[in-house]
């Protein structure tokens, strides 16, 4: 099954066009809200890694922030899984992260989640939801 590549091209394209020069305001530029200053700095570093093509580094950084509940980081993980940037392409994991971000009010995540869900089979969506529940339960235990 394939996903229409136009689904997220705009968002990924915006990230890929970002200058690699350090900025203190990536968090605000990318629409983030609600994290502590130290986490904003970590998010900024993750975006810089992504924009510079260091997808593995960006993935690790977004993952750490996602575990803390950062919707914008969860959204970026969803995009990375959807496109296979720094990770193997995985629509179930893309769904998981877009769903998590959407549940925290991230509007772009909600739009991408709806588009992705419409292209997935019912079984794939069920698997993604099961994965999300397992991740949420594990994350609650580790806090």
Contacts of 94 (CB under 8 A, 6+ apart): 78, 79, 81, 82, 116
**What are the structure tokens assigned to 102, written together?**
């959407």
pLDDT tens, 88-130? 999 999 999 999 999 989 999 999 999 999 999 999 999 999 9
Q: Which of 66, 75, 84, 87 is nearest to 31 (CA)?
A: 75
Domains of the chain, earliest start first: 5-142 (1.25.40)
The predicted model scores a pTM of 0.75
Q: Report the 3 state secondary structure along 101-113.
A: HHHCCCHHHHHHH
């Amino acid at each position: 099954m394939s996903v229409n590549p136009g689904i997220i091209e705009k968002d990924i394209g915006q990230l890929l066009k970002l200058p690699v020069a350090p900025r203190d305001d990536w968090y605000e530029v990318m629409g983030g809200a609600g994290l502590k200053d130290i986490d904003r700095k970590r998010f900024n570093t993750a975006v810089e890694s992504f924009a510079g093509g260091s997808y593995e580094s960006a993935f690790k950084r977004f993952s750490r922030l996602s575990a803390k509940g950062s919707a914008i980081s969860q959204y970026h993980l969803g995009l990375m899984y959807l496109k296979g940037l720094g990770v193997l392409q995985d629509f179930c994991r893309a769904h998981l992260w877009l769903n998590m971000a959407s549940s925290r009010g991230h509007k772009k995540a909600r739009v991408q989640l709806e588009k992705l869900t419409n292209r997935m089979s019912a079984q794939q969506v069920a698997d993604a939801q099961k994965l999300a529940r397992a991740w949420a339960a594990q994350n609650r235990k580790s806090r």
